Structure 1
């Protein structure tokens, strides 16, 4: 379908210089990035998690910026019909389109941000993450900590999805806001449940924060419940945004992407500088997911050891207990930050080593050269394991990863037997449980363990 849409809140008052900068998007190399992210947003609700297939399915899709004296509008042509109701674009999706425009332009044109992104210091990268979140209005001063990040798979069973809604509902009743990767499945369920909890408590409009990045957005199109969408430049900035902006994390069942997120966080929490810093972390699912979390726990114990296992608690089939655990954990976070005079809205004290920030390009060479051995500190091993799972996610659903596999064959991953065997077992379980692709999709592995 075709449409011309106006910004509802963001980008509705612009200077002529700002409009000129936005017009450059459609006339420069940024257009390809802008177009692919916009198409992913418009594809919300469709059963497709393949970035390459999405671009090929809508070859005639186009999006242009229309300049007006008072600002801009967006003209879309050949957009997925699912983004419309009775010929009108769903308002939440229209808002997401302008969020895409805002973040793509900001990440490519703000001089301070560009200096931070080009700097190899950890503080500079954290500064860039802060400015991206502040530009998107995610940073809210003078608000008590209450943001729970929810991680989990986009490909989960209906029983698991219903459970995520129940947990979200219990957290909503307790005034907690939700932040997720903004896609379907375990990213949508907690937000959907929380809306009911917030409504019952007459809390007004809750915060449903979605944080994504260009490589994954086509596979995990933002669901329209998200009312604060942010697109970070890459997966590493996205992960840092989660742990800087969130006050606690709940992990639901998932696949390779969820394993990547778990390894990222555990690697950071295992760093000596973070051992005394409170950060509530709960793994949870319905009764049917008990074996799944036993396997995750065993994998962590075998690869990273008992210290890593002490960083989280596992709660099975008890949404109320999960919500209470988050409330108690966030109370500890608030007390710690008040005592140490740290901001409630951004976790400045968290030490994130450079290896967790440096973008990892999932090329065949880089995947083959990963150091997966015990001749390194545990937090460093976690960083390298995270990269392995990140590469598999790219090969599964990201456009550039899928094309790399088609051109050069499977990714090869090698390392010590005591590490690679648990990795192989976990990935095989994900395949057998249908956690690598959406239900009904055929999964062909993009990797092999050497």
Structure 2
């Protein structure tokens, strides 16, 4: 066995400590069922946390002999891993945080497969049914706390950012925690780790022992954004659409740091929802921020939003450059407005039931070449619908950049082709070119080969 590979058995933590015989055998059987490959790939990503691979295909090829299985015991289950990355272990024992994340993967993949998918109680075609499924996955992961006032800030941004941008995200996280605010991110490195790292110091200074560091991922992206060690509650949603809905339902405000195509996808999703008529009166603080060196990034994003979605979309966010304390002050004030609104309307603090998320934002988008080519990228539609289609376009680009299936698809069939209104497509091309020039599409040092081709009609 190679020195950088380890075989081990891992004992459970948390809700796996006490299981019935039925649950034990169900977990054992389900773990080798149709979802096993997803379970295996997500587990490998967790074990590779802290590694430098942001390419799902490359990670799977490097650890092609990795194997994981569920072993039933009298009271619970254990996980047997073979040929696992040695970085997940210290002196032959798995790091506790990694083990917790590993069992979170087991919990969520098996729960979705056995309790959500195919269950007639969840109508995954209707908007209400999808929202119910998102709620139950989050509740099963024990992320809700009815005793907490609104204090959860979702932070989005790139997993591959400069050291200056990373340090800035830490400062923002620190300022948020000094104001007793918690952090939820996509759980990976870069702009997802920085706010959590800063917040740990802020919470410690305030002697706030209730700090939440929630990480929400999904199987297709987890290899590029493996959970960072600060995450103390990890949730694996079944697809990107349910992941995004989980962010906006549980978060009380959103901060966007510099990123690439994935961050643009998240921004378009959020703005599309906020542009819906039923959500226009609902308070939801959104702040774009970064150090002074990132100002051009946000200028480009702001120009793109203005040229595609219009002034109504631009009115839904603030841009604050190089001022972490002001970011935190504005976010705290915005969340207080959210608290008052939820209190007056009777909505839950821990899950935003009143937010309208239409099916256009819930329906899983599979980025095949045909689907990418047929996207409706024109302005002859409601702005929120255009945002939904632009979101799908950027989702496909993310897939072609970092997801195993997407990378293989592009290698086999060539770049994705995007067609649309000339003005809109030029705006999109300009934005994507700026991402590539700033090395925001892949890790620095790697040559970026576009997985897309833009055609103006």
When normalised by structure 1's length, the TM-score is 0.98
Q: Structure 1: any 5+ residue segments left out of the alignment? A: none
- Partner residue of 1:332 out of 337, 362, 377: 337
1:136 equivalent among 113, 137, 141: 141
Q: SS at the partner of 2:98?
A: helix
Residues 124-273 of structure 1 mapped to structure 2, 5 A cutoff = 124-273=129-278
Q: In 2, Cα distance between the equivalents of 1:434 and 1:407? A: 25
User: How far, CA to CA, are the matches of 1:312 and 1:113 in structure 2?
Assistant: 38
> Which residue matches 2:289?
284
Whether the 8 Å contact between 2:31 and 2:110 is mirrored in structure 1 is no
Instruction: Choose 246-255 or 79-88, whichever is displaced more.
Output: 79-88
What SS class does the counterpart of residue 198 from structure 1 fall into?
A: helix
Distance 1:303 1:30 in 2: 39
Alignment of 1:398-417 (within 5 A): 398-417=403-422
Structure-2 residue corresponding to 1:25 = 30
**Using a 3 Å threshold, how does the CA distance of structure 1 residues 111 and 148 change in structure 2: closer, same or farther?**
closer
Output one character per residue of 1:98-119: Cα deviation in whole Å (capped at 9) or x when no partner: 0000000100111588335543
Query: 1:426 is matched with which residue?
Result: 431
Kindly state the Cα deviation for residue 59 of structure 1 after the two structures are TM-superposed.
Answer: 1.1
How far apart are the structure 2 equivalents of 1:291 and 1:223?
28
Distance of 1:226 and 1:296 partners within structure 2? 29
Q: CA deviation at 1:25?
A: 3.0
**Paired position in structure 1 for 2:327:** 322
The 8 Å contact of residues 45 and 223 in structure 2, kept in 1 or not, is answered as yes
Determine which of 56, 62, 69 is the counterpart of 1:57: 62
- 1:353 aligns with one of 355, 358, 382: 358
Q: Which residue of 2 aligns with 1:5?
A: 10
1:116-147 alpha-carbon deviations (Å, 9 max, x no partner): 55431101100000000000011211210000
C-alpha contact 1:253 1:284 (8 A) present in aligned 2: yes
Q: Hey, what's the Cα distance between the residues in 2 that align with 1:442 and 1:3?
A: 37
Q: Tell me what 1:107 maps to.
A: 112
Partner of 1:391: 396
Q: Deviation at 1:428? A: 0.4
- Say if 2:321 is the partner of 1:306: no
Bigger drift between 249-258 and 56-65 goes to 56-65
Separation of aligned partners in 2, 1:440 and 1:108: 39
Counterparts in 2 of 1:390 and 1:138: CA distance versus 1, 3 Å: same
Report SS of the residue matched to 2:406.
Answer: helix
Q: Is the 8 A contact 1:367 1:388 kept in 2?
A: yes
> 1:443 & 1:422 partners in 2: Cα distance?
20
Q: 1:424 deviation in Å?
A: 0.2
Cα drift, residue 439 of structure 1: 1.9
Residue 197 of structure 1 aligns to a residue in which SS?
A: helix
Whether the aligned pair in 2 keeps the contact of 1:10 and 1:99 (CA below 8 Å) is: no
Given the superposition, is the C-alpha separation of residues 194 and 272 from structure 1 closer, same or farther in structure 2, using an over 3 Å criterion? same
Q: Distance in 2 between matches of 1:264 and 1:6?
A: 39
Whole-angstrom CA distance in 1 between matches of 2:358 and 2:35 = 30
Query: Aligned partners of 2:247, 2:32: CA distance in 1, in Å?
Result: 33
Question: Deviations along 1:198-221, whole A, 9 cap, x unmatched?
Answer: 011111151100000000001110
Counterpart contact for 2:116–2:122, Cα < 8 Å: no
Report Cα offsets for 1:150-184 as digits up to 9, x if no partner: 00001100000000000000001111010000000
Q: 1:292 to 1:268 in 2, by over 3 A?
A: same
Query: Conserved in 2, the CA contact under 8 Å of 1:283 and 1:314?
Result: yes
**CA-to-aligned-CA distance 1:323-361 (integer Å, 9 cap, x gap):** 111100000000001011110000000001110000000
Q: Report which stretch shifted further, 381-390 or 23-32.
A: 23-32
**Aligned partner of residue 223 in structure 2, secondary structure:** coil
Q: Out of 91, 95, 99, which is 2:100 matched to?
A: 95
- 1:297 correspondence with 2:279: no
| Distance in 2 between residues matched to 1:247 and 1:324, nearest whole Å | 14
Per mean C-alpha deviation after superposition, the further-off stretch among 202-211 and 180-189 is 202-211
1: CA distance between counterparts of 2:7 and 2:35? 22
Residue from 120, 124, 147 that aligns with 2:125: 120
CA shift for structure 1 position 224: 1.0
Q: Does structure 2 retain, via aligned residues, the 8 Å contact 1:248–1:329? A: yes
Matches of 1:36 and 1:182, distance apart in 2: 16
Using the TM superposition, give the Cα deviation of residue 233 of structure 1 relative to its aligned residue in structure 2, in angstroms. 0.5
Change in Cα spacing, 1:208 to 1:435, as seen in structure 2 (3 Å) is same
